[in-house]
Structure formats: C-alpha cells, structure tokens
Amino acid sequence: MVELQTARLDAVFHALGDATRRRMLRDLAGGEMTVGQLAEPFAMSLAAASKHIQALEKAGLIRREVRGRTHHCRLAPGPLADAHQWLGFYERFWTDRLDRLERLLREEDARAAPPPPEPPKPEGDDR
C-alpha cells in the first residue's frame, strides 16, 4: 500500500513539476476542454500537448474521454488532495519551527533592549 501511495505521489509531483502541465490543470479548473483547446495557449502541436496530457493522466489528475474524433479532458482533483495532505505535514513542521524561532528572537530582543528611561522628577520633589 505504501509503495502504491509513493508511486502515486511521485507521478503527481512529476506532473506538477512542469509549468505547461500546471497551466493546463489551472485551465481545466474552469471546466472541460479539448486537447486542442489545452494546446492553444502554448502554440504547440497536438502531439506535444498529448504527451503533457498523458503525464497528467498517469498522475490521475485528469480524465480524458473520446467523443468521435475529439478528446475531451476534465480535472480529477483527488490526487491533489493527497499531495496537499503530504505537504501539510511539512507545513506544520516548518510553521512550528518558525514560530519557535520568532519567539526566541523576540526574547533575545527583549533582553538586549536598553531599559526605558525613568520619567523626570517634578521640580521641588526631593525624594
């Protein structure tokens, strides 16, 4: 089971590691698109777009359906939730570390700060 999850996460991060594929996913968040529509902003061939789409499919991030001669793609966000969960562990780790660092720096600043000046004594006060 762990090996399957590892392979799935590897495929997701591989797919997300390319700016073209991230843009395709963002575009698909707006709704279903054809392969031609996905390729259009990049001025790439349908064959090149298809290779990117295959990487997204392998990661389970999109679903492709063939209707006649047209390939329609839609977002399948489930694997993104798995990646988000995996990243969440490290987010908590670094948030805790950075909170501790902030606290230590504030304590150090408080120790290093000169004491506030005493208010002036009113005239005629000999105390």
Q: State residue 90's pLDDT score.
A: 84
> Do 41 and 52 touch, CB atoms closer than 8 A?
no
The domain total for the chain is 1
Q: Is 115 part of a structural domain of the chain?
A: no
Q: Domain limits at 67?
A: 2-77
**pLDDT band of 4, cuts 50, 70, 90:** low
pTM for the whole structure: 0.69
Beta-bridge mates of residue 33: 73
For the cut 50, the answer to whether the pLDDT of residue 1 exceeds it is: no
Q: State residue 2's pLDDT score.
A: 53
Instruction: Tell which wins on pLDDT, 72 or 43.
Output: 72
Q: State residue 49's pLDDT score.
A: 93
**CATH code, domain carrying 60:** 1.10.10.10
User: Chain-wide mean pLDDT for the chain?
Assistant: 88
pLDDT, one tens digit per residue, over 7-40 is 889 999 999 999 999 999 999 999 999 999 999 9
Q: Residue holding tokens 């591989």?
A: 14
Q: Is 24 part of a structural domain of the chain?
A: yes
pLDDT, one tens digit per residue, over 105-127 is 998 888 887 777 888 777 766 65
High-pLDDT (> 70) share of the chain, %: 94
Question: Residues 28-49, buried b or exposed e (16+ Cβ, 10 A)?
Answer: beeeebbbeebbeeeeeeeeeb
Helix, strand, coil percentages for the chain (3-state, nearest 5):
65, 10, 25
Taking the CB of residue 126, how many other CB atoms lie within 10 A of it? 4
Helix (H) or strand (E) holding 102: helix 78-112
> Do 43 and 92 touch, CB atoms closer than 8 A?
no
For residue 61, the 8-state DSSP code is S
Q: State residue 44's pLDDT score.
A: 87
Amino acid identity of 23?
Answer: R
Q: Is 68 part of a structural domain of the chain?
A: yes
